[in-house]
Structure 1
Amino acid sequence: MVKAKTSLTFYGGVNEIGGNKILLVDRDTKIFFDFGMSFTLKAQYYSSPFLSPKSEESLLEFEILPKIRGVYAFDKETEADVDAVFLSHAHMDHAAYISFLKREIPVYCGDTAKLMLEAFSKIRPKGLEFNFEGILFHGFRTGDKIAINNVEIEPIHVDHSVPGAYGFLIHTSEGTIIYTGDFRMHGSKPQMTREFIEKAEETKPTAVICEGTNMTGATISSENEVKKKVSRIIENTEGLVLADFARTDIDRFNTFYTAAGKTG
């Protein structure tokens, strides 16, 4: 029996929302796609800001951090055993735990995601998590082709609730693997996701890794529908209107900004 040259190991992101940590091994090349925080696992033991992890060892003991040799900066006994990490976008459930990586491991992400992660590192309270100081960030854009030894990665933009989101066409020795990252069709730029799908289809992939948060049973409103609902609520309200949304969701900020301008 011939042993496969390419393998995928999922250290997170299966049967949960986010927490993605996907290890691709192709011959002697090892690449992680995303290295995020598992909200599900962390919520079992911690509740920010009242109870936060105090040590890396506790995160390992609770299996919030998977036990992997040659990855973590606090593991002083082993050398780096991963060639690169590619981030699909800057949401914490896909990117937060790069803070624990050995600093000699390069981290590739979209140019916008790079700016956002560097900003997060400056404005968030210093602690075990979200400390990106010293990380070797490398930015990319759609159309780039990045070679990590024998593996070539093509990032293609997708629409998501944070700017700078990408999916990947991963060209390995056993064919192309598609990793979608997080994407949507109901946002303000669905054509970006369509372009990714078209490019992915052209490769006739060997495997597809697809997110499925709202794949079944979800009722989704388009951003334009949200804008209409918000405008209607503001028009029918006397006095001050307060809005709350994720600070990284620029499209949602623009929705409220536009609605506020139209309704005075």
Structure 2
Amino acid sequence: MANPNVKIWFFGGVNEIGGTKILIEDLGYDVCVFLDFGKSFSVEKQYYSYPNIPRSLDELIRINATPDASKMPVLQGLYTQSEITKLSQQKLLELEKSNQFKEEQESNIDAIVISHAHSDHYQYISLINRNIPIHISECGYNILKIRKWIERPSLTNNLFLLNVHTFKTGQSIHVGSLKIEPVHVDHSIPASYGFIIHTSGGTVVYTGDFRFHGHNPFLTYQFHDKILENEPIDVLLTEATHVTKSILSNEDEIGRKLQQAISATERLVIADFSDTDFDRFRSYYNTAKELGRSLVVTLRQSLILGALNICEGLATPNILKDETIKILIPKREDPTKPVTGERLSSWQKIYYQHLGAEVKGSVQSEDLWMPFKEMLAKMGTPPEEKLISHAQMLNKSREYVLCPSFNTIGDLQQVKPAAGSVYILSTSEPFDEEREIQFEKLLNWLELYGIPMLHVHVSGHVHP
């Protein structure tokens, strides 16, 4: 930036997909703000693969996945010095309920502003000082809360005790004299935002991730128009995931291709897409409904999509209320009998009860889960017979489209779909060696079951 009072630091997201961490240091306003603080997948995968995961902040700093705050005074107090990243979920819930946790260390970072709830843009906030304000959209925070409750806490996946402030389009964020205008954009996850930042030295625009070819391109065009209203723009920070790649397709075309693919089989259809891609979920839902099929989602996926239902403009299709959407229970369970509680976590027991199932076993410290129960109440009351077993689904496979969880191969092994079923991949193809190896294993399992794979997808990123 030409004005020496404003410095822009890049600690991730350059020459890599995701891992975005951009610091605006405004000396004129005496303010330091991070734009996103994402997990660096490309760096982590060089050193880790499950179950070997990062064990300390120092380790992540050493591999250059996150900045070394000890070497830059501006980053003083960036990371938490407490033991919260080592605590169990039970203890973290107790601390949240007591409201007595205080981060003692002061920080030079005045705020972190999150563009959207994809891990490569937010997940390393797990590491940060809990005094630092986190600004995220109302809908994005719904997603983070669900993940906080249903995922096991770890060093890089700990969303408890954060100092969260929510926003939506039309509301400005003020950090000292610095003004940030969030404006919605179209992306493969709802509640994605770009930011217009008014610094002491001029105007900076950060696009976040965006596209023009989804169901809601008007959102991105409105951001474009808002940028023009604020000219001159001194610095434009834009994503470039597909800057050299162009695919002439859009979400409407996806619907037409799904119609062809699903109508061509009398067996089970398996639809693999991101659990936060509500546009893609709607495409599958609309197509399945037109063809007389019901969608079957996993327990985890139904919660994430249900959290999106609470958001403005995303009330339909309603995951819990819609009778054509079923929730798959573990293969060992029979939906006509009480669900065994011994192997279930607390959130699973509570959720099964909300779905109308009888659960054996009590929930430990159930009062700690009141915020989770309150969100379930907002999602709505499901109709009877919401749950479906593997056997019920396979007995009438022609009537269903199964949307598996993130563990696609594990789901295939449990379901054992009959030959003649169809697998539709609606995510990006692998772009590195590790994903190619996993993808090859998936292809081998599909070949074993006699199931063809169809690739029906458009990216969540802008292209030329």
TM-score for both structures, normalised by structure 2: 0.55
Q: In the alignment, which residue of structure 2 is the partner of 1:87?
A: 114
1:222 to 233, 240, 250: 250
Does the Cα contact within 8 Å between 2:81 and 2:105 map onto a contact in 1? Answer: no
> Tell me, what secondary structure is at the counterpart of 1:243?
strand
Query: Partners of 1:79 and 1:152 in 2: how far apart?
Result: 22
Residue in structure 2 matched with residue 24 of structure 1 by the alignment: 24
Q: Name which of 225, 229, 242 aligns with 1:198.
A: 225
**1:211 counterpart residue number:** 239
Distance 1:260 1:195, change over 3 A: same
Distance change in 2, residues 1:3/1:175 (3 Å): closer
- Residue 172 of structure 1 corresponds to 199
Please list the CA deviations of residues 207-264 of structure 1 after superposition, one character each: whole Å capped at 9, or x if unmatched.
Answer: 1000011122232521111111111001112211111111011111111111111122
Give the counterpart letter for 1:181 in structure 2.
G
Aligned residue in 2 for 1:63:
64
CA gap 1:218/1:39 in 2 versus in 1, 3 angstroms:
farther
Distance between the aligned counterparts of 2:10 and 2:123, measured in 1? 17
Aligned partners of 1:74 and 1:100 also within 8 Å: no
Give how far 1:47 is off: 1.4
What is the aligned partner in structure 1 of residue 282 from structure 2? 254
- C-alpha distance after superposition, 1:149-168 (max 9, x if no partner): 12100000001111111000
How many Å apart are 1:78 and its aligned residue?
5.8
Partner of 2:4: 4
- Aligned 1:30-179 pairs, distance under 5 A: 30-48=32-50, 50-68=51-69, 69-74=76-81, 79-179=106-206
Q: What is the CA–CA distance in structure 2 between the aligned matches of 1:67 and 1:227, rounded to whole Å?
A: 46
- In 2, the alpha carbon distance for the partners of 1:61 and 1:165 equals 31
Letter of the structure 2 residue corresponding to residue 196 of structure 1: F
Runs of at least 5 residues in structure 1 that lack an aligned partner in the other structure: none
Number of residues paired by the alignment?
262
Cα 1:117–1:249 shift into 2, 3 Å: same
Unpaired runs of at least 5, structure 2:
70-75, 83-102, 293-464
Instruction: Please report the RMSD computed on the Cα atoms of aligned residues, expressed in angstroms.
Output: 1.6
Distance 2:3 2:224 in 1: 31
Offset of residue 29 of structure 1: 0.4
Amino acid at match of 1:38: S
Q: Provide the secondary structure at the position in 1 that maps to 2:33.
A: strand
Supply the AA of the counterpart residue of 2:12: G
Question: What's the secondary structure of 1:102's corresponding residue?
Answer: coil
Q: How far off is 1:3 after superposition?
A: 7.0
In the alignment, structure 1 residue 238 sits paired with structure 2 residue 240: no
Runs of 4+ in 1 over 2 A off after TM superposition: 74-79
Larger of the two Rg values belongs to structure: 2
Q: Which amino acid aligns with 1:239?
A: R
Secondary structure of 1:35's aligned partner: coil
Shift of 1:147: 1.3
More helix by share: 2
**Pairwise CA distance, 1:123:** 1.0
Q: Deviations over 1:112-155 (max 9, x none)?
A: 00111111111111211221100011110111122111210000
Letter in 1 for 2:246: A
| One-letter identity of the residue aligned with 1:67 | D
Report deviation, 1:77.
Answer: 9.7
User: 1:41-99 CA distances to partner (integer Å, 9 max, x unpaired)?
Assistant: 01101113x22112222111111121123200038996311000000000000000011
